[in-house]
């Protein structure tokens, strides 16, 4: 998939030249999400692996995985990744969207999603799924506000006590 352009952003496929800037953002991301204990349900891979081998679902294909840098005024301010043909040919899975703290609450997240949705509609995708930690209330509010309001699955090993991971898989139909 080629570059995604919006009013303020350029989203382009990441490469190893982007790694130093992305690793700085990854450290902020890791610190930000430290409220969740490690869990097989909350899988993620280091940025370098995302760029080189991808974060591929079981029996998935590398050519269906896309990891993007998000730039504003030529500065990398975040990253995102998604996988197309996830479970069905017309479904995508949004693995991650992360925007640096200083760029939040300015409409950038919505602009990113709108850009992704337009790109996926052009690829005949009709549904997007994603997974959010139950402890990440800001992301949950954001995604529900953006129309990810169908609950597919709730993962939690017991009640959501300290040291226990809990997540929710949400879905949005993007075809009008």
Return the pLDDT at 37: 56
| Structure confidence at residue 99 (pLDDT) | 94
What are 124-151's pLDDT values in tens digits?
999 999 998 888 889 999 999 999 999 9
Tell whether 168 is covered by a domain. Answer: no
Is residue 93 over pLDDT 70?
yes
State the total domains in the chain: 1
In a domain, 18, yes or no: yes
Q: Which domain holds residue 13?
A: 4-130
Residue 121, domain member (yes or no)? yes
pLDDT tens digit string along 42-89?
Answer: 556 889 999 999 988 888 899 999 999 999 999 999 999 999 999 999
For residue 160, name the pLDDT band (cuts at 50, 70, 90).
low
User: For residue 30, what pLDDT is reported?
Assistant: 75
DSSP the chain: ---EE-SS-EEEE--GGGHHHHHHHHHHHHHHTTTS---TTS----HHHHHHT--PPTT--GGGEEEEEEEETTEEEEEEEEEESSSSTTEEEEEEEEE-GGG-SSSHHHHHHHHHHHHHHHTT--EEEEEEETT-HHHHHHHHHTT--EEEEEEESSS--TT--EEEEEEEE---
Q: What pLDDT band is residue 38 in, cutting at 50, 70 and 90? A: low
Asked if residue 161 belongs to a domain, the reply is no
Does residue 14 sit within a domain?
Answer: yes
Residue 149 in domain: no
* Confidence (pTM): 0.90
**Residue 138: inside a domain, yes or no?**
no
Q: Is residue 105 part of a domain?
A: yes
CATH number, domain at 53? Answer: 3.40.630.30
């Amino acid at each position: 998939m080629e570059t995604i352009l919006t009013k303020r952003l350029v989203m382009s496929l990441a490469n190893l030249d982007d790694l130093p800037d992305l690793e700085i953002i990854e450290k902020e991301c890791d610190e930000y999400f430290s409220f969740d204990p490690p869990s097989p349900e909350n899988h993620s891979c280091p940025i370098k692996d995302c760029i080189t081998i991808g974060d591929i679902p079981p029996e998935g294909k590398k050519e269906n995985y896309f990891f993007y840098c998000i730039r504003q005024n030529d500065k990398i301010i975040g990253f995102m990744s998604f996988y197309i043909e996830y479970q069905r040919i017309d479904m995508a899975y949004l693995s991650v969207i992360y925007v640096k703290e200083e760029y939040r609450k300015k409409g950038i997240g919505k602009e990113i999603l709108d850009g992704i949705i337009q790109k996926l509609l052009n690829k005949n995708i009709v549904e997007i799924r994603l997974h959010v930690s139950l402890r990440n209330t800001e992301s949950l509010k954001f995604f529900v506000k953006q129309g990810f309001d169908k609950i597919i699955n709730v993962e939690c090993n017991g009640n959501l006590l300290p040291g226990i991971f809990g997540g929710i898989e949400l879905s949005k139909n993007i075809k009008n």
